[in-house]
Structure 1
């Protein structure tokens, strides 16, 4: 069994690799070539947190896996990751665990890469302005995915905490200087999204975090943070203005995400407004963007197949490069 920590993964697996792995995972899922049960959510009310158990199986890759991930917002006060996680990769020909990987980093990587895949497939080709709302533990990889998927001149970042958004912008300008993109902290979410071609929301908000009337024609919105029924980041107005709405998994989003469930319950949108899954766009089974004026929404809550495929591709590269620790 191979043990892979964060540095091991970083040594062999880039964001570009992660985006390709996510596109592969979404394709496998939408083709029905995986077993991906809905995740088990166990609330931990005392900590205002939730523990999630996410299994998946991909026969064509002869692998399976399980990710155990928690979302504990109070961890930030303890200087611990808000979303600690572990991924177990299994050999589906023997049923043995072949690798244990740093799931906290994989979660950041593949969650960012989900937005990256959506941007790569659905955003306007000449996108130049990005917006990132939320500067927590998932934000850095969301930003990196945005920069990998499109050659952006500027990304505006916003969080309610002024010091946090400003320090985030300073750090990211240093971290991603090689992209030659200006990363600017702004004083409101609405200022962030004005004229933005690509918008990512990654918060745990229970109310919409921007005014949907301000979304420009042609924008792509990737909603990442709303993974429970009571959470809502995306203004329903943006959904009503959108030409197309895509998910990574229709079953998962309609089982969990308040971004979609709340507007459905309020009658603001209907299931007829749902265009389909990103994997089906990648395979060409359904049409993605048809014009540069279309507003498109992509909603993701995360599925186990993403973790399994990403872990398998990391494992393969680690074996080739002789990275990691063998544990018998």
Structure 2
């Protein structure tokens, strides 16, 4: 059994690798080549947190696995990841555990990458300005993914804590200096979105984080943070006005995401208003952006097929490069 730390994963796997892995994962999901039960969510009210258990089997890769991930927003106050996790990868032919890896970084990587995949496929090619809402544990890879798929001149970072936004922007400016993109903290999220080409939200907010009536035609919006029926970081106007609405998985989003459950309950939108899954766009079964003026919207709540496919590719690369620690139990 191979044990892989965050440092080990970074040695063998880039964001570009992860974006490719996520596109493959969603393709396989759309083709019915995976078994992905809806994840089990256990509320931990005492800590305002949740623990999630996410299993999947991917026939094409002969791989199965389960990620155990928790979402504890208050962890950021004590300097710990707000999304701690471990990934257990198993051999699909024997059922044996072949690897355990840092699921926190895997989650950050594949979650950033699925947004990167959607932005690559749906955003305008000439996108130059992006806005990122949220600076928690997922934010760094969300930013990295956007930078990898579009030649951005400026990324504006908003957080309810402006000091935290300034610190995050300064750290990211240094880490991603090679992209030659200005990364700046902003105090007014509504002002920031007015001329933005890409908007990515990665918060646990229960109310919309910006005014959807302010966005311009041609914008691409990614809703990545809200993942329960009570959370709603996307404005209902965007959900209603978007020309193309694409999901990581329709089954997961409509079962779990308040961004869509709430406006559907109000009768603002219905299931007929949504195009389908990103995997179907990749396969050419569903149309993505067709004009520069269209508003496109991508919503992700995460799916274990992303974890298993990404973990499997990390594991194969680590074996080939002799990275990680082998353990016998």
Give the TM-score taking structure 1 as reference length. Answer: 0.99
Deviation at 1:77, TM superposition (A): 2.5
- Quote the residue 1:265 is aligned against: 265
Structure-1 separation of matches of 2:90 and 2:270: 39
- Quote the residue 1:113 is aligned against: 113
- Quote the residue 2:224 is aligned against: 224
- Residue 181 in structure 1 maps to residue 146 in structure 2: no
Q: What are the equivalent positions in structure 2 for 1:1-328 lying under 5 Å apart?
A: 1-328=1-328
Structure-2 separation of matches of 1:111 and 1:219: 21
Deviation at 1:78, TM superposition (A): 2.5
User: Residues 220 and 295 of structure 2 are in contact (CA less than 8 Å); yes or no, is this contact kept in structure 1?
Assistant: yes
Structure-2 separation of matches of 1:76 and 1:293: 38
Which is further off, 215-224 or 74-83? 74-83
Structure-2 separation of matches of 1:293 and 1:76: 38
Structure-2 separation of matches of 1:317 and 1:240: 43
Give the TM-score taking structure 2 as reference length. Answer: 0.99
User: Residues 55 and 304 of structure 1 are in contact (CA less than 8 Å); yes or no, is this contact kept in structure 2?
Assistant: yes
Please give the per-residue CA displacement for 1:128-160, whole angstroms capped at 9, x wherever unaligned: 111100111100000000000101000001001
Please give the per-residue CA displacement for 1:240-259, whole angstroms capped at 9, x wherever unaligned: 21101010111111110000
Structure-1 separation of matches of 2:207 and 2:158: 16
SS in 2 for 1:60: helix
Which structure 2 residue ranges, 5 or more long, are not aligned?
Answer: none
User: Residues 226 and 258 of structure 1 are in contact (CA less than 8 Å); yes or no, is this contact kept in structure 2?
Assistant: yes
Please give the per-residue CA displacement for 1:165-214, whole angstroms capped at 9, x wherever unaligned: 00111111000000000001111111221211111000000000000011
RMSD: 0.6
The count of residues paired between Structure 1 and Structure 2 equals 328
Q: List structure 1 runs of 4+ shifted beyond 3 angstroms.
A: none
Which structure 1 residue ranges, 5 or more long, are not aligned?
Answer: none
SS in 2 for 1:98: strand
User: Residues 132 and 192 of structure 1 are in contact (CA less than 8 Å); yes or no, is this contact kept in structure 2?
Assistant: no
